Structure 1
Amino acid sequence: MSADKLFINGKIYTVNKDQEWAQAVAVEGNRIVYVGDRDGAEALCDENTKICDLEGKMMLPGFIDGHCHPVMAAHYLCGVYLQIEWSPEECLAEIQRFVKEHPESDTYFGIGYAEWMFDETGPKKELLDAICPDKPMMILGSSAHEAWVNTKALELAGITRDTPDPIPGFHYFHRDGEGNPTGHLLEMATQNMIMENINFFDADKIEEVLAAASDGYAAMGVTSTCDMGAPEFVMPAYFETVPEMIEKGSYKQRFVGCGRMVSEKSDVEIVMPRLRRYKETYDTDQFRINFLKIINDGTLETRSAALSQPYDEDGSMVKPLFTREEIAQLGVEAAKEGLNINVHGIGDEAISGTLAMAKAVREAGYEDCRITNSHCDYVKDEELELFGKYNVIANTTCVWHYGNPDMEKVIGDRQNHTFRIKTMIKGGCRMGQGSDFPVDEFGREPLKGIEMGCTRQLFNHPELPVLKPYEEKLSVKDGIESYTINNAYQMHMDDRLGSIEAGKYADLVILEKNIFDVPLSEIHKVKVCETIMDGKTVYKS
């Protein structure tokens, strides 16, 4: 055997516990064929082998975004894009600018405002009416778990004081004293009621935005994406556009996903039969559908996360979508079908449901089912160790791990006991990371996530507070593993991805510096020099 490419003279970190560092990596086609010392690699070389001198740069396995929504993002990012640090006045000014520059549009859509900048009653429709009274407008919050609409959008969707809330107290319309909708929508069922009646999206732009997002991922060193769900209206792009783009090379990452997510109990009857078909139909290492995604609560910012104690701000309580018995039954059903499971669980009560489900799945004998709790904001003290006990992957977004005094008014001192991932790792838990793109807030770059997991402080802002508890700071090794081998395990592809080992796919990223050697606060500044997916260069600086 001879190698096509031989990489030498670099800091090659393999993420293989049996051989963490190597002198050389040989690639033949789309596979790694040798990892080890230079002498052994050169035995595979002939006159046709390309010698790639890393010149001291760092090589890692390609990064995997373990929780994102790129297909949904391709729809949502076609409109106005607000920044999470902006004030209400700045957001309104940007919305007004966008409307003025796009007078030809029949509808207006956007995303990104900080959901904590308004009080618990949320933003009002009159603010948008003053900008655009005659065309429907919808702006999603930074987590996409709430929305802000104008009067015209409510009118065209037929939403009135007599419209019942989909799930009172969870998926609902904020209302004034007379019961009229105020323009503030909580959770996805209410958003769907608007979108089913109003088309906010230009189909011609969706593939263009999706391709740009994929190019962006390649420039960040990302070689695989785990799409953790989308609403019904994006399904055509999910199962038609993405496979076509992968075939022609304009989507440059492996794609593992779930299709439509379960965000209401009634969704189960729709989603489960589909997943049985998808699992058989879409099963290649480039495009695979093998996850059941369950939304079991909302977010802390929107006051819709399921907590065991009331919110400090207003004394409200939110229950998980599923009881522990219900989600356990659904989890066992999914495991029986050979599906992996990903649960959105942010509040401690919702996370208790994930752990109860995991216990039921393991006791039913399904040890190989990959179970993930996404986000993992607030976990009960006594349940931290259960992630390891029941082999539940803790997938989180470390660019959210920073001190945020604005959240203390919402949940009080509990804000200083969030994201206790280091304790969970010590208890035997695998930690994965994902950006939650397009609601990543501060960027989807893995290097930002690695840095902020270590510092628990917003990058480039040393003056801002560090998130407590300080002892929950991660190591650089933890961060790298979270974006490589642990996410590969979540994908059920750790035998093919996630580390630099002979026999695995040649999915690789080359960085200008060894991130073990740079100051923690400088990690996000390290440049990606080259990204290789399936043996082919998809980005080079």
Structure 2
Amino acid sequence: MSARKIYTNGRIFTVNENRDWADTVVIEGNKIVYVGDKTGADTFWDSGAEVLDLKGKMMLPGFIDGHCHPVMASHYLCGVYLQVEWGVEECLAEIKKFVGENPDNDTYFGIGYAEWIFDENGPKKELLDEICADKPMMILGSSAHEAWVNTKALELAGITKDTPDPIPGFHYFHRDAAGNPTGHLLEMGPQNMIMEQVNFFDPDKIEEALAKASDEYAAMGVTAVCDMGAPEFVMKAYFETVPAMMENGTYKQRMTGCGRMVSDKSDVDIVFPRLLDYKTRYDTDNFRINFLKIINDGTLETRSAALSKPYDEDGSMVEPLFNRQELAELGLKAAEAGLDINVHGIGDEAISGTLAMAKAIRQAGYDDCRIVNSHCDYVKDEELELFGKYNVIANTTCVWHYGNPDMEKVIGDRQNHTFRLKSMIKGGCRMGQGSDFPVDEFGREPLKGIEMGCSRQLFDHPELPVLKPYEEKLSVDDGIASYTINNAYQMHMEDKLGSIEAGKYADLVILEKNIFEVPVSEIHKVKVCETIMDGKTVYKAGDSQ
């Protein structure tokens, strides 16, 4: 194969600063060397070039999943996978089916139930005991911020009424009136307490699951991912398996990441020194560790997001893990060390903490530190413009942007004031998108995210409600930028990725149709024809994978 490839006769949206269109792109090795019209590419047209006719198809920069957990997913998806639209009985039937089909398993693990199908007391261990009482079982909710376990799992982990909660009111075991754990676990602390004692994962399946997920990403047009953290038990795969797979070509995306997350204040003294080491050891354009990831609250679905006013459903309130001063001090420490920062902030009180941290970092002169607030569900009106003022990247998952009456029961009318990304963009904010895989709920395809950001309605369901406020619908251009140049900026690689420009890496995706010209409701149906990463085709429609 020639080292020079000429893609021509296409609808090429460059996503450069001027949002220029082109019809021809020339690649030399793994870099783009020319972008423009066919005539301007005359000097590259020789007998040694491989010419590929796009036949009017659309070319974009390769999609970047700006917030996902593929290493964690390779563990979590080895078990039963539930669908977020299922009710309790459907989930139980699928769990029972999985156990019946895998009678030799020593443990059972799963993920995916919608947290809102249970009331504020959550799921009960007895429901799982009826399916399997003699082997430990753990099922994560769709957000992975809560879990459901059977009695055997609690017993093997030594969890009793006398076991203290990791962080009372935030990371805790739901208990009955007598103080006994009910089988409902809130946040990652209790999950980790059980996982440290019970091995739910088969190591032989991990690399296979990573490769499968990478192939699926390539088929979606994804050429880079931002892995935003994992628990301790997956670190071997994170820092040994993934780099080895990249070396042999079985992992087909670039990755930036953080390793272990800070999900408890006690994690800081463990995570921070490691990060300084990782930052030096893992610093290539294919695999780079440069983020401090901080979990500062939970989720609205699990009633663990930090809101400034009580939950409508039960009147409860949750405080952020770090108060504003503590978060600012940690953020300044990270910025001084040359790290970028990603904060999980879903409730308005947690997001206020991210913005206070960003203000402190900017006032200290650390202008190049990339600060990300992940998810951005509910932001105070007066703080929408602060994302632009303090250059905080708002990373969200647009497949969550749909009308959901069930959530109105939990947070009332505040549900109709969530995900106001258009207002934040108007205020100068960069918006990034990520799937949060494996807790993506409705799929991690970027084209679904682009569509639902524009429609604020669940794809393929025109009968379901549109998420208010309607004026927060994004443009297609917003959606494309969120999966390309804005995520490249988040990765600190906007000079190398995210747009089709000479000198950047040849990370590209070819679509069968121009998504500016199809109805918004049809965007998710547009097929990916080819994905090119580092100048090499890693997916082509019709090829056996």
Task: Give the TM-score taking structure 2 as reference length.
Answer: 0.99
Aligned-partner Cα distance in 1 for 2:468–2:338: 39
**Alignment of 1:115 onto 2:115:** yes
Q: Which amino acid aligns with 1:530?
A: E
Q: Is the 8 A contact 1:450 1:479 kept in 2?
A: yes
Structure 1 residues 3-29: Cα deviation after superposition (integer angstroms, max 9, x where no partner)? 711111110000012351012100000
Question: 2: distance between equivalents of 1:3 and 1:215?
Answer: 24
SS where residue 261 of structure 1 aligns?
coil
Name the residue aligned to 1:533: 533
Matches within 5 A, 1:34-49: 34-49=34-49
Q: Distance in 1 between matches of 2:18 and 2:157?
A: 59
Counterpart in the other structure of 2:284: 284
What residue identity is the alignment partner of 2:119?
D
Which letter maps to 2:400? W
Shift of 1:45: 2.0
Give the secondary-structure state (helix, strand or coil) at the position aligned to 2:153: helix
Match of 1:364 in 2: 364
Considering only aligned residues, what root-mean-square deviation do their CA atoms show, in Å? 0.7
Distance 1:189 1:4, change over 3 A: same
Q: Which stretches in structure 2 are left out of the alignment for 5+ residues?
A: none
Deviations 1:286-335 (A, max 9, x none): 00000000000000000000000000000000000000000000000000
Which deviations, in whole Å up to 9, do the C-alpha atoms of 1:166-205 show, x marking residues without a partner? 0000000000000000000000000000000000000000
- Distance in 2, matches of 1:234 and 1:45, equals 48
Deviation track 1:76-113 (CA, whole Å, cap 9, x = no partner) reads: 00000000001100000000000011010000000000
Partner in structure 2 of residue 268 of structure 1: 268
Counterparts of 1:453-468 in structure 2 under 5 Å?
A: 453-468=453-468
* Whole-angstrom CA distance in 2 between matches of 1:195 and 1:440: 22
After superposition, give the CA deviation of every residue in 1:221-277 in whole Å (9 maximum; x if it has no partner): 000000000000000000000000000000000010000000000000000000000
Equivalent residue number for residue 216 of structure 1: 216
Measured against aligned partners, the alpha-carbon deviations of 1:9-53 in whole angstroms (never above 9, x if no partner) come to 110000012351012100000000001111111211210101110
Task: Please identify runs of 4+ aligned residues in structure 1 that moved more than 4 A.
Answer: none
Match of 1:185 in 2: 185
Structure 2 equivalent of residue 61 of structure 1 = 61
Partner SS, residue 115 of structure 2: coil
- Answer whether contact 1:344 1:375 (CA < 8 A) is retained: yes
5 Å-filtered alignment, 1:54-453, equals: 54-453=54-453
Output one character per residue of 1:62-85: Cα deviation in whole Å (capped at 9) or x when no partner. Answer: 000000000000000000000000
Q: 2:24 matched to which residue of 1?
A: 24
1:383-414 deviation line (CA, Å, top 9, x unaligned): 00000000000000000000000000000000
Could you tell me which amino acid in structure 1 is paired with residue 260 of structure 2? R
Rounded to whole Å, the distance in 1 between the matches of 2:19 and 2:403 is 37
Paired residues, what number?
Answer: 540
SS at match of 1:116: helix
Matches of 1:188 and 1:3, distance apart in 2: 48
* Farther-moved stretch of structure 1 (11-20 vs 404-413): 11-20
The match for 1:509 is 509
Distance 2:466 2:306 in 1: 25
1:89 and 1:311 mapped to 2: Cα distance? 27
Distance 1:268 1:17 in 2: 38
Identity of aligned residues (%): 82
Partner SS state of residue 275, structure 1: helix
Q: Secondary structure at the match of 2:116?
A: coil
Instruction: Please say if residues 3 and 45 of structure 1, whose CA atoms lie closer than 8 Å, have aligned partners that are also in contact.
Output: no
Q: Distance in 2 between matches of 1:495 and 1:373?
A: 22
TM-score of the pair, normalised by structure 1: 0.99
User: Partners in 2 of 1:130 and 1:180 — Cα distance?
Assistant: 19
Aligned AA (1:126): E
How far residue 533 of structure 1 moved from its aligned partner, in angstroms, is 0.1
